[in-house]
């Protein structure tokens, strides 16, 4: 049986088409072994059993075929928490953590505000993260995809927040007569023509990525719905594509006349989250 070091060397060579082949090889090895990556790096002289080697080869083959690493692993980390991920949901991005951080900061300053909504929840990573960090928060999480809601339900169970997160199949906020203190949304915002040219097209669900001709179809619809769904003084947080800030600000100003509206930038200095305090 070959050592972990030799398996990692071969795996790194097979994954050289990725941006981080060494890291991806280590993550995949740790997943197959059910260990932490640090354990793998400190036990390079260990050997793989035949079944483990077969599983590693099968996973590497899936990656070579273009399947994203999180789908091969079946989970991905977001906001320091592991989330079950399937091809039916978008892979959580670190940029979205800014939205969660902004929401948590506002909730901390407003302890009386404890009714939230996560529109277009996908895997449930936003809703679950908020409920996990704020023990008395109640969240309604909507998605148009029943398959996505099944994944979100699994993540609610995984993190023991099911009693406080209500999952609802809905097109944005259609048919909802409830009002909220906080509404969060990471909606599809890539223009259709742009999406079709990106590597992510065909690898992750188009339903979670395609924002229409200008990328603003769903954002504009939600901005029309949200004013009637927020309690006075409530907060709406929207993740946007980096070039959409100015246009979304105009849409938000029309929908929330007199509201406090800002744009927050991510760690790369790009416009990322629109903050609308009604």
β-bridge partners, 237: 184, 275
> pTM (2 decimals)?
0.94
Whole-number pLDDT of residue 259? 87
The rounded mean pLDDT for the chain is 96
For 139-170, what is each residue's pLDDT tens digit? 999 999 999 999 999 999 999 999 999 999 99
| Burial status of residue 114 (CB atoms within 10 A of its CB: 0-12, 13-18, 19 or more) | middle
Q: Residues of the chain with pLDDT > 70: what percent? A: 100
- The class of domain 4-66 in CATH terms is mainly alpha
Q: Which CATH superfamily is domain 77-83+87-277 in?
A: Vaccinia Virus protein VP39 (3.40.50.150)
Token digits of residue 11 = 């795996």
**Contact of 29 with 8, CB cutoff 8 Å:** yes
- Where are the CATH 3.40.50.150 domain residues in the chain? 77-83+87-277
For 231-246, what is each residue's pLDDT tens digit? 999 999 999 999 999 9
Pairing label, strands 230-239, 180-185: parallel
**Contact of 189 with 239, CB cutoff 8 Å:** yes
| Burial status of residue 78 (CB atoms within 10 A of its CB: 0-12, 13-18, 19 or more) | buried
- Where are the CATH 1.10.8.10 domain residues in the chain? 4-66
Whole-number pLDDT of residue 167? 98
For 244-273, what is each residue's pLDDT tens digit? 999 999 999 999 998 899 999 999 999 999
Whole-number pLDDT of residue 56? 95
């Amino acid at each position: 049986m070959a050592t972990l070091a030799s398996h990692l060397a071969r795996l790194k060579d097979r994954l050289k088409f990725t941006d981080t082949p060494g890291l991806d090889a280590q993550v995949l090895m740790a997943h197959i072994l059910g260990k932490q990556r640090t354990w793998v790096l400190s036990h390079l002289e260990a050997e793989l059993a035949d079944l483990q080697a077969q599983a590693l080869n099968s996973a590497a083959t899936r990656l070579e075929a273009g399947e994203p690493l999180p789908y091969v692993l079946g989970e991905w980390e977001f906001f320091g928490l592991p989330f079950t991920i399937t091809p039916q949901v978008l892979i959580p991005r670190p940029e979205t953590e800014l939205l969660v951080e902004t929401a948590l900061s506002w909730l901390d300053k407003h302890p009386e505000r404890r009714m939230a909504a996560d529109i277009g929840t996908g895997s449930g990573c936003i809703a679950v993260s908020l409920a996990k960090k704020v023990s008395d928060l109640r969240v309604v999480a909507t998605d148009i995809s029943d398959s996505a809601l099944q994944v979100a339900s699994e993540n609610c169970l995984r993190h023991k927040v099911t009693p406080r997160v209500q999952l609802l199949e809905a097109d944005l906020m259609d048919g909802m007569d409830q009002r909220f203190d906080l509404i969060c949304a990471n909606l599809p915002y890539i223009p259709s023509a742009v999406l079709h040219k990106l590597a992510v097209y065909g690898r992750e669900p188009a339903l979670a990525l395609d924002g229409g001709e200008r990328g603003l179809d769903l954002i504009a619809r939600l901005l029309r719905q949200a004013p009637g769904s927020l309690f006075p003084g409530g907060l709406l947080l929207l993740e946007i594509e980096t070039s959409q800030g100015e246009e979304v600000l105009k849409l938000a100003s029309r929908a929330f006349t007199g509201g406090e509206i800002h744009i927050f930038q991510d760690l790369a200095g790009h416009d990322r989250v629109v903050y609308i305090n009604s």
